[in-house]
Structure 1
Amino acid sequence: MLTDQRKKAILEALARDGQVLAGELSARFGVSEDTVRRDLRELAAQGRVQRVHGGALPASAAIAPLAEREDMDVDAKRRVARKAASMIEPGQVVIVDGGTTSALLVQCLAPDLVATVVTHSPSIAVALAAHPAVEVVLIGGKLYKHSVVSVGAAAVEAMSHVHADLYFMGVTGVHAKAGLSTGDYEEAYVKRALAARAAETVVLACASKLNAASQYRIGDLDLAQTLIVDAAAPARLIRPIEEAGLAVVKA
């Protein structure tokens, strides 16, 4: 089997099964594991797979710069954002992550909503500055420019003083076995810290983030209680997540 044929078969297996193992691929293709690992390295360099110990997972497409991500899956993100906004009750303290779906979420808040939004995203805070009844708490720290959010020790320390009702988490990957992931080490740490400060964590994701993984693991799926996803997402992507125990709400 030629290299291109092996790579195509690997991608097809990832789309079907959600993961591949180098040993199984070696036996299937009749080549050495070193050859399979080389194929996986090349696919990873192209951003098409996420390598893990022993094999690979589908790579998330949601790791592009913020300006590019703003134009991706806009309608699906808006539906997810609208459903998330409807979950907020008057008087609640809500943590809102950075990201493009979160930016749409705050646009969906009712103008008469009385609540407190805690965020480590300067752009989310600015978007809420004109809201007449939402109090905004902005968490500072080192600015991670890719996602325009605060990260680092100062941000984590500030979060330790928050007790929130809800945390709306943005991710780049939701995978039944690999869990929740993102593209930056410090951002993953901050997301874990935020989840620990909320009574309920709600993950916001469009279909492109399902059955996918990024370089840095935030935690297992049970770090969250709910996943909001666009209703148009294929059932084959949603089913493994539900079977893993995460409640899925379709928007």
Structure 2
Amino acid sequence: MLTTRRRVMISERLARDGQIVAKALADELGLSEDTIRRDLREMATEGLLKRVHGGALPLTPPLPDFAARQAIASGVKRMLGRRAAGLVQSGQTIFLDGGTTNAEIARALPRDLRATIVTHSPTIAAELEQHNAEVILIGGRLYKHSMVAVGAAAVAAIEQIRVDVFFLGVTAIHPAYGLSTGDYEEATIKRAIARQSAETYVLATAEKFGAASPHRIMSVNDLAALVVPADIENEVLSPCRDATTLFFA
């Protein structure tokens, strides 16, 4: 089989199945596993897919900047934010990750809520100006793409806090690769927060499912729940149904 034909087949299989297992594809095509792995390496170098142990996953497209993302699916994000805010209980310590969807959680929280809200996002903290909740802002180097603090100082501060619920922001969700994001330092911060949290929730719109960003955060199985739109298609969710609880907005 010509290299061009193999690459077309790999791309089609990624679009259909959301992953490539090198050995299984090699056996199916009657080729050596080394041949498939070489194709995957070359396609990854060209930015066509993401190589992982044993195969490959699709890439997520580059995200627009923070200001532009605020206008994307804003109505759906508001619904997700309201559903997530309803999960917060008085007296809890909550960590809100950065991002436009989590900003909707902050906006939906009752202003008289007695709770402690921790965040490393100055934009999230600003949303809570008129709330009774105590707000703790984690500092560090500002990663402007997501408007969150990253770096050693942020990690050190996070390690001194225990939280009840972490609302984690991600750019991609894949049943095999897990939850991922586009920046190495941001992924490190997210893992640090998750380690300090009793429960971790993710709010996710449909386009985040079945894809993988470069930097893995954690497994879907490690989540307490996914908060998703009520009208999301069943085939989008089916790979994650056995991995975690689903809340619909």
TM (normalized to structure 2)? Answer: 0.87
TM (normalized to structure 1)? Answer: 0.87
Distance in 2 separating the partners of 1:164 and 1:178: 26
Change (3 A) 1:187 1:111: same
Alignment partner, residue 116 of structure 1: 116
The one-letter code sitting in structure 2 at the alignment partner of 1:228 is V
Alignment partner, residue 246 of structure 2: 248
Change (3 A) 1:62 1:78: farther
Secondary structure of residue in 1 paired with 2:165: strand
Alignment partner, residue 38 of structure 1: 42
Offset of residue 98 of structure 1:
0.2
Change (3 A) 1:232 1:3: farther
The one-letter code sitting in structure 2 at the alignment partner of 1:199 is A
Alignment partner, residue 177 of structure 2: 178
**Runs of at least 5 residues in structure 1 that lack an aligned partner in the other structure:** none
Offset of residue 236 of structure 1:
1.4
Q: Deviations over 1:182-212 (max 9, x none)?
A: 1111111111111122211111111111111
The one-letter code sitting in structure 2 at the alignment partner of 1:188 is A
Note the aligned Cα RMSD (angstroms): 2.4
- Is the 1:62–1:208 Cα contact (8 Å) retained in structure 2? no
Offset of residue 30 of structure 1:
7.2
Distance in 2 separating the partners of 1:66 and 1:228: 21
Distance in 2 separating the partners of 1:193 and 1:36: 31
Say which is worse superposed, 72-81 or 135-144, in terms of deviation.
72-81
The one-letter code sitting in structure 1 at the alignment partner of 2:103 is A
Q: Deviations over 1:76-115 (max 9, x none)?
A: 2222111101111122111000001011111111222222
Distance in 2 separating the partners of 1:71 and 1:246: 29
Secondary structure of residue in 2 paired with 1:80: helix
Alignment partner, residue 186 of structure 2: 187
Q: Percent identity?
A: 45
- Is the 1:22–1:37 Cα contact (8 Å) retained in structure 2? no
Alignment partner, residue 64 of structure 1: 64
Q: Tell me the matched-pair count.
A: 245
**Runs of at least 5 residues in structure 2 that lack an aligned partner in the other structure:** none
- Is the 1:25–1:36 Cα contact (8 Å) retained in structure 2? no
Alignment partner, residue 229 of structure 2: 230
